[in-house]
Every structure is written in structure tokens, then in C-alpha cells.
Amino acid sequence: MSVIHRWRVTTPLVRTTFLCQAGTTTIAMVNVPSGYACTRSHPLKIESDYYDRNIRVYVYVDSRSNNLTPDGLPLTNEITMRMGKFFIKRNYIGVKVVNNSSTDAYVTIMFPCHIISAAVLERVFIPFLRKACEEVCRYIGVDPEGVR
């Protein structure tokens, strides 16, 4: 893990494994520390020791309404997915696994993360993204309000 103290940035590789018992629904949360945000958009990987089309995975960012997988993804192989518009995570990444198979599964989620202080996010990062969006929209002739 690298740490830059002046800007309060850390870049850990987050990895957690949890048991999903057969015939149950399991919810796991990876929390972002209070006063910080995770800003990396690199892929989230989901692996398991048992794969079956009867196991479905749902991924949420910061709230149940920010569902990256509305219909769920069948866990038939390793899953690699991008965060898309939810690349800024302020509270948590939640994973819900519905295991309708007859076998328990250990599911692992893994993602690299840039954790920055909320103050840096609000004072530097968000204004920078807003300005970049405005400039790109102006260049291609699109109203920036329609992009947000």
C-alpha cells in the first residue's frame, strides 16, 4: 500500500472473501472509511471456489438504488466489471449473492482503490471533473447539464 500524507491518499488492494451458504442470500459490505472516498475506476473482480448458473451476484455502490447489476450476474466464471459512473464511492461497495445452488460457495471480491480525504474530493477532485466535463461538452457541442 502506498501513502501520500499531504493529500491523504492511500492505494490499497481491497480483497475480502465471504461464505455464501447453499439456498441463502448473503450480503457483504466493503465500507469506505468515514471522511474518505474511493475514486478508482479499475475493475471489480468477483471470484468463487464454486461456480454455478444458480448463483447470482448483485453489486451496489453507496446505496441500493446505485445497482450496477439490476438483473444480477450468474456466477458461472470469474466476473470482471467496471464501476462506470459510480467510480466515486463515498460509503461502500455492497455485494449480494443469491445462492440457489445445492453447494456452499466462498465468494471473493477484489478491487484496487484510491482512498482520498473527503475534503480533497470536494475541493480538488470534483471541481476538476466538473471543469473537464464542461470543456469536453463545449468542444463537442453538448449541454453539460444533460451529461450529469
Using one digit for the tens of pLDDT, what is the confidence trace for 6-17? 556 677 788 999
Domain assignment present for residue 134? The answer is no
Number of domains within the chain = 1
pLDDT score of 16:
92
**75: burial class by Cβ within 10 Å (0-12, 13-18, 19+)?**
buried
Could you tell me if 55 and 99 are in contact, meaning their C-beta atoms sit under 8 angstroms apart?
A: yes
CATH number at residue 55: 2.60.120.380
**What range does the domain containing 93 cover?**
3-118
- Is the pLDDT confidence value at 3 over 70? no
Residue 60 falls inside a structural domain: yes
Select the more confidently predicted residue: 31 or 121.
31
The answer to whether residue 124 sits within a structural domain is: no
Residue 46 burial (CB count, 10 A): 22
Asked if residue 140 belongs to a domain, the reply is no
- Residue type, position 44, single letter: L
The answer as to whether 79 is a domain residue is: yes
The mean of the pLDDT values for the chain is: 85
Q: Quick one: cell of 62? A: 453507496
Note whether 84 and 68 are within 8 A (CB): yes
pLDDT (tens digit, 9 = 90+) per residue, 32-52? 888 888 877 678 899 999 999
Other beta carbons less than 10 A from residue 144's beta carbon: 13
Is 138 within a domain? no
pLDDT of residue 28: 94
The answer to whether 12 and 115 have CB atoms below 8 angstroms apart is yes
